Amino acid sequence: MSQVLHTPPPAPGAPTPAEADLAALAARHGLTVSGARPSLGEYVRQLWDRRHFILAFSRAKLTAQYSQAKLGQLWQVATPLLNAAVYFFIFGLLLGANRGIPKDVYVPFLVTGVFVFTFTQSSVLAGVRAISGNLGLVRALHFPRASLPVSFALQQLQQLLFSMIVLVIVMVASGSLPALSWLLVVPALLLQFVFNTGLALVFARMGSKTPDLAQLMPFVLRTWMYASGVMFSIPAMLHGKDVPTWLADVLQWNPAAIYMDLVRFAMIDEYGSSYLPPHVWAFAAGWALLAGVIGFVYFWKAEEKYGRG
């Protein structure tokens, strides 16, 4: 009796011989799966190749932001300045939150805190909507999706630079004349930009799958603002109070407080090193590196999923 040999079926999930032949043919001719995630190094190269698009996109968004308002781009400066005026009235005049800060310094202290924290706040809020708010662009064109949150963070940096003009005027009016220490603002804001971009990338991925996150983040960011010393000096508020050491460290070393402290230290003459936590520059660089690297890798991991489903 002759025996009939049966070829065992392929294991579940394994490619069939025909699929294997097609894969080999595609590899031989340099073809890849459409929308597949590139390697990390290749992704960085693609992002660098789109640098002109990122810059142009951020400028276009900045121009269009207030295009319907009669005052136009003046709102880029007026909005944070009005916020600072409201905070000064409530916290400076009514609640006396200027404790530990000389009265003639409190206005530049507050304006600096509002401008610098708004930089981070706006970057995060823009990052949450970077993918979910631009699905038409994501689905229509092939480009590294990180271009969007990076361009939104860059847009907020450009807006901050407009605000810095007002900040300089406030500083001069309060008696702080330009000095070499003002140059320290440049590395401080560059480190903050890297930190903000990392956060924008993290929340862009989270917001792409959870649109409701855009409604929750303003409450989270408002809580962060009140805990970061925007309206008051953290060391002055902690002085003489029975606060756990770990809580004091969290408040002083949180990244928003650190970047505000560095800009205040650079621009306000009376804001000396006694207001700064130890190793402040090391912490500023560490936060930027940590957020930038983790945010970029975390966003890249889901590159092939954006705009689908």
d(CA 97, CA 121): 22
Residue 93 half-sphere exposure toward CB, CA atoms < 13 A = 7
122 alpha carbon, distance to own chain's centre? 8
Tokens 């962060």 sit on residue: 224
d(CA 309, CA 305): 8
The packing angle between helices 147-173 and 185-209, to 10°, is: 140
d(CA 290, CA 283): 10
pLDDT in tens, the chain (309 residues): 455 555 556 555 556 666 555 556 555 655 555 557 889 999 999 999 999 999 998 888 887 776 666 666 677 677 777 877 777 777 766 666 666 677 778 888 888 998 899 999 999 999 999 998 888 888 888 889 999 999 999 999 988 888 888 888 888 888 888 889 899 999 999 999 999 999 999 999 999 888 889 899 999 999 999 888 888 888 777 776 777 777 778 888 899 999 999 999 999 888 888 888 888 999 999 999 999 999 999 999 998 888 775
45 alpha carbon, distance to own chain's centre? 21
Domain parsing of the chain, residue ranges: 57-305
pTM of the model: 0.83
CA dist list (Å): 199 to 266, 273, 297: 25, 28, 12
Predicted pLDDT of residue 296: 96
